[in-house]
Chain A
Amino acid sequence: MKENNNRLGWLFTSPYLLYSIVFFFIPLIWSFYLSFTNWDLIAPDFQFVGFDNFAKALQSPSVHAAFWVTYKFMLVFVPLVSVMALIVSVLVHSLPKYKSLFLVGFFLPYLSSGVVSALIVKGFLSYNSPLNMSLRKIGIRIDWLGTSWSALFIVGLIMAWKFTGYYALILTASLESIDHEVYEAAAIDGVNSKQRFWRITLPLLYPGFYTTLILAFGVTFGIFTEVYQLTGGGPNFATNTWQMEIFSQAFKNLQAGYASAVALLASIATFVSIYIIRKLLEKWGARNGWV
């Protein structure tokens, strides 16, 4: 019986296992191999260069920029998307009906093309757009995509707009799962709405909130389309993400070996950062008695 269950388990998980082997495991091994060569994927000849690619990457200003830009994006994107998703989920949760319809509406940006949203924003922020013409009339002139802080903020804002609906979906599901009896008991004890939110809703929502936070931190390591379309990683590498750097080295400079080394460094940075963030969030939740 146990053996049959085991076989059935393997059978059901085999499609995903196969998918993981083909699309994750083999490319990972391949990328590891490539990172020690100077191969461009095309040339018939190439050399093993040992750790040269890694040494070069660790000294590269654009790689340094990619490392720090990720954390800068975190500072913009994570608080923005968390607060917006929380607001949306609380508002949708409080609706008497048509909750799903509203959630689908907020979820749509997540499904939209990053290229399209980036191009719309580009037009909206152009020098001769109605917004900038109006701002100039009152003496305000900002080169939105040409100034480091604003370019970073704009990309963070677009990403937050895109992911708010997705995270709100998770948070709404968490809100729906909170037992109504808890609120009823609190009402009998005379708890006001502010206390209800901070003392009941937020702690009980924490497991869902924890999930969205981890997902949001993870997103910052994979930003590409919006940056590629809006700023190309500029100005002065201010928006040069890990993915932009890997793309530029692999597909513009045709240095697949070097790009693989950068990709491995990016995955190490991602793994270590997410691990630390996860531990900090767990500690924070435990200290407050939320988990």
Chain B
Amino acid sequence: MLAACGSKKDNAATTVDGVTTIEFWAASNPTQQAYWQEMATAYEKTNAKVKINVSVIKESPSSEATIQAAIAGGSAPTLSENINRGFAAQLSASKALVPLDTLTGFSDIITTRKMTSTIEPWKFADGHQYVLPIYSNAMLFGWRLDLLKELGYDAPPQTYIEILELNTKLKAKYPDKFIWAKADLADPTAWKRWFDFFMIYDAASNGNKFIEGDKFVGDDKAGIATLQFIDDLRKNKGILAENVADPFETGTSLFIDLGPWTFKNWVEKFPDMKYNENYTLSMPPVPDGVDPKTSKTFADTKGLVIYASATKEQQAAALEFIKWVYSDPNNDAKWFEQTNLPPARDDLSTNESFKAILDKSPELKPYAENVPNAVPPMDNAKFNDLQTILGQEAWTKVVRGELDPETAWANMKTAIEGALK
């Protein structure tokens, strides 16, 4: 249907009178759209031979489906942002993306933007780079500091046993409050595992890749420990896997997974939320006996891709535009300031361009500091299927108390290995 109704774009007509028109699809987030519009306008002033049309990726039914439909219908953009590594793996397996490292000038971007280390884990199994990461959120846990203090804590607990002890105190004082309240905990949708299982598992396994190429390389001990922690919390009524409106902000839950995009929303909706006054941030908890200082976490990270359906002229023009944007750290600083999303750079916590922003918004500091401790999602084209299996066979079953951690992990492992064949 999609392909039958689509119309092939006349790519040859995209360069007229020496002016190359490129289509840029920005994330459906007003701050990101505004940023890219500003960059495009500024670039057009310096380069009259390029015209950049910035538009938003429709999120109905999802941004991935919109992109897929556009590619199938022959109306894909030249480049787009907001692409995670898993979706990029799906697209690259379908030869829909340009391997960026094959384009002249790509290595200059990496050097100029100082992102050699940050981009290294993004290399795909075939040795190519298909995505230029824009931002990297080292996902953190938020803690209600006011509630912690009421329960006799000055800082968040860091190990599983400490959290279970805290839960006992919490339930004794507030039976209707929970350590973690979130409906997504019981929802097997693939991407939801990034913000629960993978955050805790990355900490327990010292950043194990889970899937490497077409192989399941999950750490059994860490995986079972992660599930056991959730099972223990469930048994002690520490988790609430139901739809709850703003659980953390209203104090129904004591901790929650937090991305830095939340703070912009809080300014409007929950202005009373103040960092180090009523909430604080921490890396994920670790199993007992593991040093909390070594904790790793999930990297919510997305980037730019160039589509294979674009003409050579458009691909070259798109790369030149990206090169221009990232040649100036002030453009990254502007991005950081406008979106709160930490630029994917190695020098985020040391470069002077970002210091003023971090000083002004101290809640962003832990995110910037932990960029090197954040593990990007798997690059397997079947990531959706695999993460759904993870949810259906293991995580949600343990959250619901339907299976014990060992059995759930074993079932999941068998199902994932079957899916990878």
Contacts and interface: CB of A to CB of B under 8 A. Distances in A.
Q: Do A and B bind each other?
A: yes
Contacts of B396: 234-236
A254 to B, nearest CB: 5
A127 B94 contact: no
Contact of A127 (B1, B91, B181): B181
Interface residues of A, number: 33
11 contacts: A40-B94, A41-B3, A41-B68, A41-B71, A125-B243, A126-B244, A127-B245, A127-B247, A128-B252, A232-B188, A234-B188
B15 interface: no
A146 interface: yes
Interface in A1-60: 26-27, 30-31, 40-45
Interface residues of B, number: 43
A247 interface: yes
Given A26-B4, A235-B186, A251-B68, A44 B95 contact: yes
A44 B136 CA distance: 32
Contacts of A251: 61-62, 64-65, 68
B171 interface: no
Given A42-B72, A127-B243, A127-B244, A146 B186 contact: yes
Interface string B391-413: 01000100010000000000000
B68 A127 contact: no
Contacts of A256: 72
A123 B245 contact: yes
A228 interface: yes
Interface of A: 26-27, 30-31, 40-45, 122-123, 125-129, 136, 143-146, 228, 232, 234-236, 247, 251-254, 256
The listed residue with most A CB atoms (<10 A of its CB), out of B95, B243, B392, is: B243
B94 A146 contact: no
Interface of B: 1-5, 61-62, 64-65, 68, 71-72, 90-91, 93-96, 176, 181, 183, 186-190, 240-245, 247, 250, 252, 381-382, 384-385, 388, 392, 396, 400
Contacts of A136: 176
A127 B240 contact: yes
Given A136-B176, A146-B400, 16 more contacts: A42-B94, A42-B96, A44-B95, A126-B244, A127-B244, A127-B247, A127-B252, A128-B245, A146-B183, A146-B186, A146-B243, A234-B396, A236-B392, A251-B64, A252-B62, A254-B68
A230 B408 CA distance: 26
A266 B97 CA distance: 33
A44 B71 CA distance: 11
B153 to A, nearest CB: 24
Contacts of B188: 232, 234
A21 to B, nearest CB: 11
A253 B247 contact: no
A190 to B, nearest CB: 56
Contacts, number: 95
A43 B95 contact: yes
A252 B384 contact: yes
A254 B190 CA distance: 13
A269 B266 CA distance: 48
A253 B385 contact: yes
A232 B384 CA distance: 14
A145 B3 CA distance: 36
Nearest to B2: A41
A143 B68 contact: no
A41 B187 contact: no
Contact of B384 (A30, A247, A253): A253
A126 B61 contact: no
Contacts of B189: 232
A145 B96 CA distance: 38
A129 B222 CA distance: 37
A276 to B, nearest CB: 28
A138 to B, nearest CB: 14
A136 B95 CA distance: 54
A145 B244 CA distance: 11
B245 A254 contact: no
B69 to A, nearest CB: 8
Contact of A128 (B65, B187, B250): B250
Contact of A252 (B64, B247, B250): B64
A109 B95 CA distance: 44
A228 B61 contact: yes
Contact of B183 (A44, A145, A228): A145
User: Which 8 A-B pairs rank lowest in CB-CB distance, beginning with the nearest?
Assistant: A43-B94, A251-B65, A41-B72, A42-B94, A127-B244, A27-B1, A126-B245, A126-B243
A145 B243 contact: yes
A230 to B, nearest CB: 9
A251 B64 CA distance: 7
Contacts of B96: 42-43
Contacts of A146: 183, 186, 241-243, 400
Contact of A31 (B1, B5, B95, B176): B1
A235 B400 contact: yes
Contacts of B250: 128
A126 B253 CA distance: 14
A127 B242 contact: yes
A129 B68 CA distance: 38
A151 B107 CA distance: 52
